A and B are shown apart, each in its own frame.
Chain A
Amino acid sequence: MSTTLNPRNILVVALLAALVLLPVYAGLTGDRFMLTLFTRIVILALAAVSLNLILGYGGMMSFGHAAYLGIGGYAVGMLAHEGIYTGFVQWPVALAASALFALVIGALSLRTRGVYFIMITLAFAQMAYYGIAGLARYGGDDGLTIYKRSQFFAPIDLSNKVQFYYLCLALLYGSIYLVWRLVNSRFGMVIQGSRSNDLRMRAIGFPTYRYRLVCFVIAGTLCGLSGALIANHTDFVSPAMMYWTRSGDLIIMVVLGGMGSVVGPVIGAVALLVLEEALPSVITFVLHPFMGEKAAGYGEFWQIVLGPLLLLVVLFARGGIDGLLAKLRAKAVP
């Protein structure tokens, strides 16, 4: 992230500021749904930021990132089910469990490269999915309702929607800062060097496997945090949150936003989830002149538009939204 003033940076700062001011807007208009939607966006943006660390900077195409959402979420859910509500136990367990899973998966998967890596991470995430779906004590396939949110000391109350939103946002911005520091450190240089030319990095004398594994574990742990937040947000965890299509959603956010920068995934998460909310109305609106009242029924088929849209992004907008913004800048300042 360069610190110069240009349209792209102004837009990014505006987005980050808008997220801070959102509860004020929601409070003024009394739009409770908006706050819920954006809490979800902020949490998933955190997951996308963590995926970007390995996908964008490390070149590790993990297709199993949603597994950590499930593991972090289930750590909170299971402990709550056993009567342990304090966040000082729940959250460290969520992080530790995600880190451990990432360590085991990473140690095996990082032995491979390219398309093997994609499929192995995918398969391991499916394994975790089936493992958790088989836990009859914790609801199995049907999932687990959480009756009390994580408890911290007195002034912090996660049941307060505005407080919870700001906690999620603070954690998101903290993670962005962490990832930014990380990728610009010596460690980050090794990771990025290994993405471009692993053989050369090893020839210089870096044990890249260990560096990549540490990076993989950090990303998994951060995503586990996001999972703990989701569990508190929805008061419910189910294996569906770690199904492989969820991992696909996270990849979409990262690529849609742009892998080239730390905040790209945040743009992607906002864009994808707002698009999901808006597409049904847009479809109804577009079809209305042609089919009249029947158009409303077709809004639910919004994915039929989203799918080809993704294909178009892949084909014509490499670098995602952030890349497009950067291109605008390149045109403005030749």
Chain B
Amino acid sequence: MTLFIEQCLNGLQFGLLLFLLAAGLTLVFGIMDLVNLAHGSLYMIGAYFAATFAAWTDSFVLGAVLALLATLVVGMAVEVIAMRRLYGRDHLDHVLGTFGLILFFDEAVRLIWGPEGLSLPLPSWLNTAVTILPGMQYSAYRLSIIVVSLAVAVFLYVLVMRTRIGMLIRAGASNREMVGALGVNIKLLYTLVFGLGAALAGLAGLMQAPILTVQIGMGENILIVAFVITVIGGIGSVRGAFIAALLVGFVDTLGRSYLPDLLRLVLSPNAASTAAPALASMLIYLLMAIVLVVRPEGLFPASAK
């Protein structure tokens, strides 16, 4: 039972982390109608910045804050230099252009930091276990990821739904020209939104960094998972991304830990132990296929445009 609760918490943590990534992707798509494959590169850059800044400043928190700001700046620079010119173009152009950006970022990281991965060690106050239930311990760091991600989710909701800038963002999503005509600097607004998405991706990357190694290409696997989430949730819907991210987080984590046991009930132990890992990796894609058969526009389709 404790193991089950622990796996559920792991699923929650992974899901929330994925939400940070998918939220940026879906915001940028919903508002700028831009498919951004380079989102995974921003995730990677966030992790590299965090590892570097944490080593310089000797402080995990300070390093993380600096990395967040640096990713925000990189994101806004990418928007001004490249993305801005892609708005209003065909989706195929977005795919190709941002694919080129991935090649650029991967190689630039290899040039600057070298081909070996980095590690981001946790400070001792986070590298402990806390007792969350009588007789049950859980990693303090994973718990703090859950808390930070939930706080960011609330912040995003308030920002988009309750503030003036959020109102402008939503207005810009439904009619760019009209908002521009009313005297709003829509270009600056888009740069800010893209920077926000980049910072969210960077945050996800730097929080994941102590759990995995920081390496080139780390963003490419998880980018596809983020895409699956945006598709399941309905592209452009932040609420859909939140629910889909939790769903995918749980399905993936629980599938990996319980599928071998489940398969052993129907298959020979040998066959089960070989089939289970493959099936567990495919589970979220199957989930997506099922959702699409039932609802081709995702669970929470953003308002039709």
CA distance in complex: A252, B99 (Å):
9
B80 interfacial by beta-carbon distance below 8 Å: no
Whether A130 contacts B92 by the Cβ 8 Å rule is no
A205 interfacial by beta-carbon distance below 8 Å: no
Whether B103 contacts A310 by the Cβ 8 Å rule is yes
Complex interface: chain B residues within 8 A of A255 (CB): 92, 96
CA distance in complex: A255, B92 (Å):
9
Whether A244 contacts B220 by the Cβ 8 Å rule is yes
CA distance in complex: A64, B202 (Å):
27
- Binary interface encoding of chain A residues 305-334 relative to chain B, with 1 for a CB under 8 A from any of its CBs, else 0: 011111101110010000000000000000
By secondary structure, the B interface counts as: helix
Whether A126 contacts B224 by the Cβ 8 Å rule is yes
Q: Interface residues of B, CB < 8 Å — how many?
A: 48
Within 8 A of B (CB), among A291-312: 301-304, 306-311
Whether B227 contacts A122 by the Cβ 8 Å rule is yes
Whether B293 contacts A307 by the Cβ 8 Å rule is no
Whether A310 contacts B99 by the Cβ 8 Å rule is yes
Q: Which one, A21-29, A131-139, A220-228, is touching chain B?
A: A131-139
Complex interface: chain A residues within 8 A of B138 (CB): none
A118 interfacial by beta-carbon distance below 8 Å: yes
B155 interfacial by beta-carbon distance below 8 Å: no
Whether A116 contacts B296 by the Cβ 8 Å rule is yes
B111 interfacial by beta-carbon distance below 8 Å: yes
Whether A119 contacts B230 by the Cβ 8 Å rule is yes
B162 interfacial by beta-carbon distance below 8 Å: no
CA distance in complex: A306, B91 (Å):
20
Complex interface: chain A residues within 8 A of B82 (CB): 311
Q: CB < 8 Å: which of B93, B100, B230 contacts A308?
A: B100
Whether A135 contacts B278 by the Cβ 8 Å rule is yes
Complex interface: chain A residues within 8 A of B166 (CB): none
Whether B92 contacts A307 by the Cβ 8 Å rule is no
Whether B103 contacts A123 by the Cβ 8 Å rule is no
Complex interface: chain A residues within 8 A of B55 (CB): none
A251 interfacial by beta-carbon distance below 8 Å: yes
Complex interface: chain A residues within 8 A of B108 (CB): 304
Whether B96 contacts A119 by the Cβ 8 Å rule is no
A101 interfacial by beta-carbon distance below 8 Å: no
Q: Which one, A76-84, A107-115, A152-160, is touching chain B?
A: A107-115
Within 8 A of A (CB), among B77-122: 82, 85-86, 89, 91-93, 95-97, 99-108, 110-111
Complex interface: chain B residues within 8 A of A245 (CB): 99, 102, 220
Complex interface: chain B residues within 8 A of A63 (CB): 95
A120 interfacial by beta-carbon distance below 8 Å: yes
Q: CB < 8 Å: which of B91, B274, B296 contacts A111?
A: B296
Which residue of the partner chain A has the closest CB to B104?
A307
Whether B289 contacts A108 by the Cβ 8 Å rule is yes
Whether B96 contacts A308 by the Cβ 8 Å rule is no
A127 interfacial by beta-carbon distance below 8 Å: yes
Whether A307 contacts B227 by the Cβ 8 Å rule is no
Whether A61 contacts B95 by the Cβ 8 Å rule is yes
Take A115-B29, A131-B282, A134-B279 as given contacts and tell me if A303 and B103 are in contact as well, using a CB distance cutoff of 8 Å: yes
A248 interfacial by beta-carbon distance below 8 Å: yes
Expressed in whole angstroms, the minimum distance between the Cβ of A239 and any Cβ of chain B is 11
22 cross-chain CB contacts under 8 A: A108-B289, A116-B231, A119-B228, A119-B230, A119-B231, A123-B288, A126-B224, A127-B282, A133-B281, A134-B274, A244-B220, A244-B224, A251-B96, A251-B99, A301-B110, A301-B111, A307-B101, A307-B105, A310-B96, A310-B103, A314-B93, A315-B86
Residues of B within 8 A of A (CB): 29, 35, 37, 82, 85-86, 89, 91-93, 95-97, 99-108, 110-111, 220, 224, 227-228, 230-231, 235, 274-275, 277-279, 281-282, 285-286, 288-289, 292-293, 296-298
